């Protein structure tokens, strides 16, 4: 109850920010952003677009990959019209396709740009069951597996950049508090929704993909520590805001739900604040493997904190992106 009141009045936590802080406020003193290069996925709309706008305002060089070149150009044009000096590269990336992720990374690496910041923000809520071109359930493929491969393929560049510049690299996974609603066996669930349409529930699949984002950040943080890499990774819940995420469910019922929940909704600028805070605030140097909400450290779900599940998900993901799908299906068959 107290937490709800604090949220509604926007009271600030130990970080000095709260639910009503905006992305511009939390980056006000981040002058170091002038020297960084950031990749932000899903910057064509919603939270990612505002994150990109504010980081551009603070002087960061941006790489904005999107599945539609036109949407990416439009996103760039909007930012450049407001900040004409901003340096923005747009590229093609469809996160639901492992091939597209590989092509994007090859193209990005050919540009010889540094990489200080990776914001894994893109996401979808898929009302209908669908299978990606790689044969994997679409929500999981887009929200998690594409970002898993993207991060894996960019990690060497991030570690090198951090070494050369002395600036700590940062990775931010945009998750959601809804991850806490998922219970069950992580690996078995991927298999069930990939194999069998009748097991698909859109909200559960979305919650599961957001849990995977949390487990990914936790396991990656451990691996980066072992590698002694000067790169941190954290996860955020942006808060609830009306964006195109619900595009599959537009209509009167959605309008009514958002109307009833309106007191709890954030503005886009407030929803981008936690991402921008975790991506840039000097206070978070060396802070890794944590979960943030309303710009303050928070607790993920019990399953989200489970290091054994994080390691299991990592192992199966390595196999899923390894082009050797037979091995994946053989391991899944253990559940049949």
Ligand X SMILES: NC(=O)c1ccc[n+]([C@@H]2O[C@H](COP(=O)([O-])OP(=O)(O)OC[C@H]3O[C@@H](n4cnc5c(N)ncnc54)[C@H](OP(=O)(O)O)[C@@H]3O)[C@@H](O)[C@H]2O)c1
Just list the catalytic residues. 200
Longest dimension (CA), the chain: 57
21 binding ligand X? (CB under 6 A)? no
The length of the chain, given as a count of residues: 336
What are the tokens at 296? 């303050």
Scan for tokens 């932000």, then name that residue: 40
Q: How many residues bind ligand X (CB under 6 A)?
A: 28
Binding residue for ligand X, selected from 46, 289, 300, 304, defined by CB under 6 A: 46
- Over the window 158 to 197, marking each residue x when it contacts ligand X by CB under 6 A and - when it does not, the resulting string is ----------------x-x---------------------
Quick one: 86 or 176, whose CB is closer to ligand X? 176
SS3 47: helix
Give every CB contact of residue 82 below 8 A, 6+ residues apart in sequence: 53, 57
Tell me how far apart the alpha carbons of residues 235 and 326 are, in angstroms, rounded to a whole number: 31
60 binding ligand X? (CB under 6 A)? no
Query: Smallest distance from the beta carbon of 160 to ligand X, in angstroms?
Result: 25
SS3 150: helix
Scan for tokens 């290091």, then name that residue: 307
Binding residue for ligand X, selected from 218, 234, 243, 280, defined by CB under 6 A: 243
End-to-end CA, the chain: 44
Query: Smallest distance from the beta carbon of 79 to ligand X, in angstroms?
Result: 14
Angle at 314 between CA 303 and CA 324, to 5 degrees: 140
230 binding ligand X? (CB under 6 A)? no
**Closest Cα to residue 65, out of 99, 100, 116?**
100
Query: Smallest distance from the beta carbon of 279 to ligand X, in angstroms?
Result: 14
66 binding ligand X? (CB under 6 A)? yes
Which residue ranges make up the site for ligand X (CB under 6 A)? 41-42, 44-48, 66-68, 71, 93-96, 121-124, 142, 174, 176, 238, 240-241, 243-245
């Amino acid at each position: 109850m107290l937490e709800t009141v604090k949220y509604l009045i926007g009271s600030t936590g130990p970080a000095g920010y709260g639910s009503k802080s905006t992305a511009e406020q939390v980056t006000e003193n981040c002058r170091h952003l002038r020297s960084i290069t950031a990749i932000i996925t899903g910057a064509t709309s919603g939270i990612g677009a505002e994150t990109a706008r504010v980081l551009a305002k603070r002087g960061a060089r941006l790489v904005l990959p999107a599945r539609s070149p036109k949407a990416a150009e439009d996103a760039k044009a909007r930012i450049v019209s407001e900040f004409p000096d901003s340096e923005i590269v747009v590229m093609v990336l469809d996160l639901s396709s492992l091939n597209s992720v590989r092509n994007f990374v090859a193209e990005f690496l050919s540009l010889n740009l540094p990489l200080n910041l990776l914001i894994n923000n893109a996401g979808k809520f898929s009302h209908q069951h669908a299978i990606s071109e790689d044969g994997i359930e679409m929500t999981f493929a887009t929200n998690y597996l594409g970002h898993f491969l993207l991060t894996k393929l960019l990690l060497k560049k991030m570690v090198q950049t951090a070494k050369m510049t002395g600036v700590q690299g940062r990775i931010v996974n945009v998750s959601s508090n809804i991850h806490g609603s998922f219970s069950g066996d992580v690996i078995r669930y991927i298999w069930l929704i990939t194999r069998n349409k009748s097991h698909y529930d859109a909200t559960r699949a979305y919650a599961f993909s957001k849990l995977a984002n949390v487990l990914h950040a936790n396991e990656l943080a451990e691996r980066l520590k072992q590698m002694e890499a000067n790169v941190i990774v954290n996860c955020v819940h942006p808060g609830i805001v009306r964006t195109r995420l619900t595009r599959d469910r537009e209509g009167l019922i959605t309008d009514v739900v958002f109307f009833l929940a309106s007191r709890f909704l954030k503005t886009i600028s407030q929803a981008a604040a936690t991402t921008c805070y975790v991506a840039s605030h000097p206070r978070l140097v060396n802070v890794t493997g944590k979960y943030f909400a309303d710009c303050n450290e928070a607790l993920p779900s019990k399953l989200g904190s489970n290091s054994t599940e994080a390691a299991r998900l990592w192992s199966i993901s390595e196999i899923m992106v390894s082009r050797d799908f037979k091995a994946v299906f053989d391991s899944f068959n253990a559940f049949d």
